[in-house]
């Protein structure tokens, strides 16, 4: 499994606003959502709380890969691509329950495992 390069890990700490999470349906059509309840669990794992997923949940369960796009305070953009799992229990689910705002349901977590990382067209990993 790949890891976030140091520059991207540090950039994550300066993430501005919501991230964009994209999955693809079995019909080949992409689905993108804004997500604000997101955490870097470690250098290989990004966790997104499922508070209101619908198509995203269906796509993940059907085997879609995922792409997470974020922008920093200094307007640099990064893409993290990889396999994605949907978990309704376990360590990552329990961790999400600690940081996900109580006003949101936190049904599950989308767990993105880092495989490729880009800034613009430049592949970093």
| Mean pLDDT to the nearest integer, 103-117 | 98
Examine the pLDDT at 1 and tell me if it is beyond 90.
Answer: no
Residue 1 lies in a domain: no
Q: Which residue, 88, 85, 77, is CA-closest to 118?
A: 77
Examine the pLDDT at 99 and tell me if it is beyond 80.
Answer: yes
Three-state DSSP at 121 gives coil
CA-to-CA distance for 47 and 56, rounded, in angstroms?
A: 14
pTM for this prediction: 0.96
Residue 49 lies in a domain: yes
Q: Total domain count for the chain?
A: 1
Domain with 21, as residue range(s), is 6-123
């Amino acid at each position: 499994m790949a890891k976030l390069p140091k520059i991207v890990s540090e950039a994550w700490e300066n993430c501005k606003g919501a991230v964009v999470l994209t999955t693809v349906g079995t019909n080949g059509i992409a689905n993108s959502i804004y997500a604000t309840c997101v955490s870097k669990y470690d250098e290989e794992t990004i966790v997104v709380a499922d508070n209101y997923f619908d198509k995203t949940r269906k796509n993940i369960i059907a085997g879609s890969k995922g792409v997470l796009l974020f922008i920093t305070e200094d307007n640099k953009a990064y893409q993290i691509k990889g396999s994605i799992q949907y978990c309704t229990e376990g360590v990552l689910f329990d961790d999400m329950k600690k940081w996900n705002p109580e006003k949101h349901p936190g049904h599950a977590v989308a767990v993105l495992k880092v495989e490729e990382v880009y800034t613009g067209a430049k592949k970093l990993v």
